[in-house]
Structure formats: structure tokens, C-alpha cells
Amino acid sequence: MTALDAIPETGNQHARNRAIMVSRHLAARGIADPLVLGAMGKVPREAFVADYLKEFAYEDSALPIEAGQTISQPYIVARMIELLELKPGDNVLEVGAGSGYAASVLSRIAREVHAIERHEELAALAKARLAKLGYDNAEIVYADGTKGLPDHAPYDAILVSAGGPKIPETLKRQLAIGGRLVIPVGRDVHQTLLRVRRTGEATFEEEDFGAVTFVPLIGEEGWGAPETAKKETKIDAETSGFANGLLVPARRAKVIRTNLSHLIAEAAEPFGDLDELAGLAERFAHKRVVLLGEATHGTAEFYDARARITELLVRKHGYNIVAVEADWPDARVYDAYVRGLPRPKVPKAAFVRFPTWMWRNGQVGDFLTRLKAINETIPDPERKAGFYGLDIYSLSASIEAVLVYLDKVDPGAARIARERYGCLTPWRAEPSRYGHMALSRGYALCEKAVTAALVDLLEKRLDYFIKNGESFFDAEQNARIVAGAEQYYRVMYYGNAESWNLRDQHMFDTLERVLTERGPGSKAVVWAHNSHVGDASFTEMGEVRGEHNIGQLARDRFGEDCALIGFGTDRGTVAAASDWDGPMEIKRVRPARDDSYEGRSRDAGIDAFFLETGPGQKASVRDALAEPLLERAIGVIYRPETELLSHYFQAVLSRQFDAWIWFTETEAVAAGPVSAYAAGPEETYPLGL
């Protein structure tokens, strides 16, 4: 599941995300002025955007607002304000108030702020927002911003939040001696960010601070009319909207992107069917761990491709572990089926919790049938491939599994464990409520109890292991899940990075324990989303948000003895929900953005291909694939209407993955409702499909 697949935002969550924004998106990227950092940490950015965008308020992205305009990227707002060198007694003018967000930040530093907006609708809304927030030292004026407000001049600082063809002379004249003007200037889709300092009555100094992208500055001393501005600045539907108010990379990236599709076409290895694809992926068969990603959680081609590669690795190369992004107790039901073991008593039906379609679909059912058949040809039980869940969400089922085990091997210990786990009873159905309770009360109510239950189990490891080693390993893992889940549901309220890192660390630790349990010669195939499989240190996840993942941890642990393989698609259909715990829908996937790796892969003109991106690829291709571009991630939730914000992040493909598997057009997995099986064992074991 991706970062979007999370609990709804709350007021406290916004405050925490604001603090994370200041530390990770601003301070960590060089914003050092304590007045700017303090102001950015006070102003609630969620108050300046529509309700459906509030959950993205503290992403480092420009967001759409009314009148077809945008609220700028937080980093560029902070950067431009820092360049103004503000002091608490300053008189400030802002041109292009937009939502009123920058004016609000300025007002938390300066003595007085006057902001001009040329859109009457935006001016009225911004004025209302500032009044509601009680920022009474800032005023919003509906006027031509290029003329400034001479009645309130001179200004110690002027901020222009729109790109003009030149620096307006009127604004320069309204600067105080020593005053600073920060403005984007240029006639291309990108402008140059300039700082002008007035050094005397008729003298000024200019400094260049790099390329930015802003909406055009319309007015008497800017672009004459919106139509002219769009034509002369080459702004079109692709570069307007979300792109405005962004710090942009070097312009050479545009040229590299143009050539990248040709390089991909030359280096790619096309395949006609999945057996051919499996043969291409076989080059990684000597690795201890092969991690297979997916760009969505609901695409048939991704499941089928991973299945065919996995079957080859199991049949020919001794892989005996299939470890997936799924709950441990539910996966054990599938494991029992493929290895011919007794069916676990818990859970009664596997994978009936949202999102059911991830592991209860036709593609998985066919794979399990084929994997069972392969296992039946392997005489050594230790070499049969098992199916294991790595995830941390199964709080209730894991508690039940531990108690079932202890009832059988140690009834006295079972009674004690019931008392300890009883602490979590009120929240077993909705464990996120436990995290909210722990946050509001200021302490971890159940941490000691669940930790004690795990410690007791481990202290009796030898005794229990002698009775039934494999059953003990299952019980131990479930006890670890309960302890991990208790912590996870607490930290999920402290920001995405903490909960994300805890979850991926748990999944990786589980993988290592399974490898140890299955013996020194064990080899594993991992199925998880690209966002978990690709090395996070070469993506926005790691560089900006401070997140790590299974792929990064695997590289750190196994080095060259692991392979990370990502998947991509341009368009088609996908099984996903619109909201957490919502019904499954078959949604149309939008064609990928041109400035993404998916867009460059599509333009290579090959329907399906395998592209090695790691050390086995030519240096020239790897270098070209090291230019940061966007990459799409669709989890169990897909929101096409906010796709750029919800589902794209920046990445470096040739460092993130060792290979990239591409399908231009894809279809949703075959899945349906499971309510008929929620109350008891499946009629058709193991899926009941």
C-alpha cells in the first residue's frame, strides 16, 4: 500500500504534518532563517485549499485554487521570503496574493503587509481567510499589482508571486533605500528568480537565484493580457495549474527527457508472452532474494508476470519462499494449501478485510494452484515453496492465533496472555482508535502488556519448539505482529515517515526471520508495491520525506545478492477504491504524464519490454536513467482527479531498481465481493472464488 492509503487527516495531524514540512521540506533543504521557519510552522496551509486537497496541504507541491490559479510549493514560498531578508519592523508589499497563504506567512514576520490580487474572486476569498485566522496586520487589495500601492510606500520588501517579462519600474521606485524586491522574470515557461536591492535613489543591484515556474504577471507593467501571456510565455495545459510556483531542475533535463525514449527503445528487450519474460528475468536467479514490485495493487498483468517469474525460480532454482505484502495469518491459509499442510484454525476465511482484491483474485488463485502443483513434484518438504505474509495490520487475527496456540501447548500461559491482550480488546475491530486514544492520553496503555506476552513466549522457546517447531514459529511471529501493530497504530498519528518506516522495517525483519526459519540455503521472492521494493534512498520518499523501505533495507543487508525489479504501465483499468475501506471499483487509469518514466517508456513504442537498469546495463543508459523524473504509484486507493498530487513522486530509475518491466496497456485483476465467505471457511479452498 502506498502513502496515500492512510487514515483521514485530523487537526492534530495537520499540525504534525506542518512540523514535518518545516523540518524536512524546508530546514533540511537549506532554509535557515528562523523567522521564516517559525512563520511557516504557524500558518495552517490547509486553510487555503479546497477540502478535497487538505490531505496534501503539507506535501511539497503547488496546489490548485480558485480562478484557475495555484498556491505555490511550500519550499519556493519559504525560499522567496527568505531572500527578502525580513525583519519584524518591515513594511511589505506582495504582488499576486492568490489564496493569501504567502501574505499570511509574511504577516507572521513583518509589521505590516499589503497584498494585491488581480482576480476579484481570489481577493475576496483571501481577505476572508486572513480575517478568520485573525491576521489583522495584513490587507488584501483587488488591483493591478504591477502598479504597486504607492500610498503605503516605501516598502522594505516586495514579493512578486508571478512571472513578468521584466522587472516593473514602478515597483522598483516603491522600494525603500536598502529595500529588497524578489520576482520571477523571463519569457519562457521557466523564469529566473531575481532579487533586486535598492542601493540609492537611482541605483539597484540584481542577483540570480535560479529557475522557477510561475503564472504570468498580468498588468500594465507585466504581460498585457492573459491570452498574450499564455502565447508569449508558451504556457499550456501541461505547464499551467499544478506546475506553477515550483522550483524547477536544470533546463538540460528537458533535452535529456526528449532523448530518453530513444535510449529506452534501443536498450529494452521486448517480450511476447510471460514465459519469455520469465526467461529474461532468469538472469537474477542466482540472487538470494528477488523483489518483484507492482505499480498498482489491482493490475492483472503485474500479478501474472510475478507469478510466472516466481514459478520459474521455484521450479528451476530452488526458491522456497514467496513473501508478500499481506497479513501473516491470512497468508498462512494459502501457505497450508500450496504445501499440503493442515489448514490453520485462524482466520476462518482468508483476506476478507479491506482491500480484499489484493490477495483474493483470480490471478492469485491461478498462481496458488500452479505453485501447489510445482510443490507436489518436490520430494523434500524443506524445498517446497511456502507463501508468507510480511505485513503488520493483522492485530486481531494475530492475537487469536497466539491464544489458539497457547491453549494447545500451555493453557496456563494462555490465561495470562488473554489477560494481557485484553488491554487491546476494545480496539481490535478498529485498531486505529487505539492510536488516537494513546495519543490523547499521552501514554502507551497496552505497550507493556503485549511486550510481556511476546517475552514470555520467547522465554519458553525451547520447550515449545520441541513440541512443534513450525507451530511455534507461527505463534512467535503472530506475537511479534501484535507488539509491532500496537506500536504502529500509535506512531501513525505522528506522521507518515514514522509509521511507514516502522511498517517496512517490520516487513523486512519478517523476511529475514523466514529466511532463517527455512534454512541456510533458503531463497526468497518478495511481492510488494514498487514503493516498497524500489530503493527509497533514490526517490523523493527517502530524500525528502525521510522514509526507508524493504528494497533499501535488502540492499543494505544482502548487497549484490538481491535484485529489485519494478513494474510500470501507461494506461488501462485497475481495481481500486476511492477511499479507505470503500468498495472496489474498476477505474480507468489515465495515460502517464510526459515528464514521468512511464511517459518515456510509453514513447519508446514497445508494447511490453524488460529493461535492465542496474550494473548489467551500459553506463550510458544507466546515466540517462539517472535523471530525476516523476514515477506513478497507485495503491489500493486511486484518485485520478488528483493524480499528480496523489500518485506521482520523483525517482531515479537506474538507482531505484535493477530492472524495469513494462506493459503499455493493462487490465484490472479479476475480483469480486467476498461477503459470502466472511462468516466461515471458504466453500472453495483456499480463496472461495
What is the phi-psi region of residue 581: left when phi exceeds 0, alpha when psi lies from -120 to 50, beta otherwise? left
- Host H or E run for residue 130: helix 120-133
CA pair distance 404, 406, nearest whole angstrom:
6
Which cell numbers in the block locate residue 557? 543487508
Return the ∠ at Cα 358 (arms to 354 and 359), rounded to 5°: 105
Contact 318, 633 (CB under 8 A): no
CA pair distance 65, 243, nearest whole angstrom:
13
What type of residue sits at position 257? R
Q: Up-side HSE of residue 521: CA atoms within 13 Å toward CB?
A: 7
| 237-250 b/e (C-beta count within 10 Å ≥ 16 → b) | eebbbbbbbbbbbe
Listed as own residue / partner, the contacts of 269-273 with beta carbons closer than 8 Å and 24 or more positions apart are 269/609, 269/610, 269/611, 269/612, 270/606, 270/607, 270/608, 270/609, 271/608, 271/609, 271/610, 272/608
Q: 597: helix, coil or strand?
A: helix
* Catalytic annotation, pick one of 61, 72, 531, 601: 72
| 481-496 b/e (C-beta count within 10 Å ≥ 16 → b) | bbbbbbbbbbbbbbbb
- Host H or E run for residue 260: helix 252-267
CA pair distance 425, 221, nearest whole angstrom:
67
The answer to whether residue 72 is catalytic is yes
Residue among 500, 495, 527, 535 nearest 511 (CA): 527
CA pair distance 293, 669, nearest whole angstrom:
16
- In order of 147, 212, 680, the CA distances from 204 in angstroms are 19, 22, 79
CA pair distance 681, 591, nearest whole angstrom:
41
Active centre residues (catalytic): 72
